[in-house]
Amino acid sequence: MGISQARTIAFDVLRRVETQNAYADEVLRAELGPTIRTEDAGLATELTMGVLRWQRLLDFLTGRYLTKVAKTLDVEVRIALRLGIYQLWFLERVPAHAAVHESVELVKRARKRSAAPLVNAVLRKAAKEASHLAQPRGALASLLPKELPLAEQMGILHSHPTWLVERWLRNFGEERTRKLLEANDGVPAVSCTLLDSRRREDVLTSLQKAGCVIAPGLLLRDAWTLHGGNPAASEAMQKGWAAIQDEASQAVAHLVAVEEGNTVLDLCAAPGGKTILLARAAGSKGRVIAADLHAHRVRAMAERFEAAGIRNVEPVTIDGAQPLAFERRFDRILVDAPCSGTGTLARHPEIRWQLRGEDVTDLHARQVRLLSNGLANLAPRGRLIYSTCSLEPEENELVVQEALGGLQGEFRVVTPRSALQRILREDIAHESLIDADGFFRTCPSVHGTDGFFAAAIERTAEKI
């Protein structure tokens, strides 16, 4: 018996994430082309994201069956063990013999044949223990040492780094942190945005042909939630008529409130999903500058805009953290700043293992420069949206506070009430997405979307 295509894909993606700090969804999307069967695409995605989501817990379980610490294992062996134990403890439909055998074969395929007996022995122990427990996952708490601090316990059981759990316990309290961890450990909704309204029926037909079941969006009236299938293989995605994009992310683009004929700056534009929404709103008489720091990402955006038939966007390579040399100011600016991504840990679980606590401080300084430079290029009566997919105050309200320091007479934070009302479903109150300070916020445990922050800032007058 050989190795299934799904397990091979999952193993290769996990190895790239581990060794190259690649983004799992991007690598998966490249692997899951139209030739991959729907059931294989589904299992490969489940295995890849499940292993990344539960990585710390899987390593904890692995360590119980080893005489040496899991970190000393070669990366290929560690990944094979994680895949095997994930299937044994989390996937009821996978036969134990298949999980064990194919994990052993994956190690051999990775030219680590000498480790095959170890993988076989460890997974047989794991299979035996899981089969003896009526509810394997329900028994996990009993396996932890009783003297562990709360953050350590929560970090292992919910598979998050301890430093992040400690941070959230300080900021949010125990109950909200527990709910957030639980939300991050769930499978997030797959949301779709229509990029070309003329192709609405074509998009629906294309997604259905790809095996997707289409349901209404969670928050937005023009969003769809997709279940099953392989949307990446659909004509709609390949031709740029639609895109997979979280609803909170879609909402941020609409908060910019671009009007026909506006000049627009998207300062941190890649990969360009929000830019397309801005360009459609600006129309043929409008002009959009799509800027990004990295030239290869700018080239990829240009190709994406071309494929989508977008003609009013100029992609440029710019370091937005440096003073900008534009000749004119912009009616609308979006600063969707690079951030820690702590609001996206369900969708991008690998971030849990790549991020460090000091990164938040480093990001804050760059985010302040990005926002300050954006504000300097905003036209009178213009609107700027500063946004992140982070839950951390240092990247959100504290950035706005620092950038606006001394500029209160020239700029003001406004509540994007009317922009929200235009896009939300009728049964969703805009107040549920606006905090006491007028900022837009979503939370995975409350809204079912990624965790986003956005501040709407308007220029009230020229600086005197």
Active site residues: 389
Cα angle at 23 between 367 and 70, to 5 degrees? Answer: 110
Q: Token pair of 303, please?
A: 């190709």
From the list 448, 441, 389, 14, the residue with the least C-alpha distance to 188 is: 448
Q: What is the CA radius of gyration of the chain?
A: 23
Interatomic CA distance for residues 92 and 95, integer angstroms? 8
Interatomic CA distance for residues 314 and 291, integer angstroms? 8
